[in-house]
Amino acid sequence: MGIILIMKKTYKGELIKSMNYLAKNPRTIFLGQSVIWPGNSMYGTMVDVPKKKKIELPVFEDMQMGMSIGLALEGFIPVSCYPRFDFLLLAFNQLINHLDKIRFMSNNEIKIKVIIRTSIGAKKPLDAGPQHTQDYTDILKNKLTEIKVISLNKTKDIYPAYQKILNDKENFSYLIVEQGEQY
């Protein structure tokens, strides 16, 4: 009689699985802070992504979003990582005025896909304070018209969400909100 081992899926494990899935696509490229070098929790979800698919960036959020748009215009699928939702605020110009409006500005001729990962910072075991733990999901769901906003609250939803995003034939961009306390 054999032993059957059932592994419980973890939030971080599903993110790792999802990033590995995305990395298999030849068009994906991962960029942001701590995508190559450790420095935040999001880094641990990309440890198996090949280094040649990563671009490490300094802290310049607005430029990062602009680079992501430019890479998408060149045929890549950027996975743009912002380790805290609060950091993404600095990229709102590019996010709201450019990426979200590019279909409208191009009379629906330019349809690019950017996958934006962000996280609501953890308050436990240590509260990082209001400048690192805010949730702007509802605000952006109400403001963005061409970027789909998905909040990953449940472990079971992570991998199917990333599969759907990558396989979206309409080529929409996505803002994925992860839960830092579950990493």
Where do the structural domains in the chain lie, given as residue ranges?
A: 11-182
Q: What superfamily does domain 11-182 belong to in CATH?
A: Thiamin diphosphate (ThDP)-binding fold, Pyr/PP domains (3.40.50.970)
Q: What is the pLDDT of residue 126?
A: 79
Q: What is the pLDDT of residue 121?
A: 87
| Rg of the chain, C-alpha, whole Å | 16
- Dihedral angle computed from the Cα positions of residues 167, 162, 64 and 93, in that order, rounded to the nearest 10 degrees: 80
Query: How open is the CA angle 134-80-78, to the nearest 5 degrees?
Result: 155
pLDDT in tens, 25-71: 999 999 999 999 999 999 999 999 999 999 999 999 999 999 999 99
Q: What is the pLDDT of residue 8?
A: 81
Whole-number average pLDDT of the chain:
94
- Please give the helix or strand (H or E) that residue 176 lies within, else none: strand 173-179
Residue 135 token pair: 């949730």
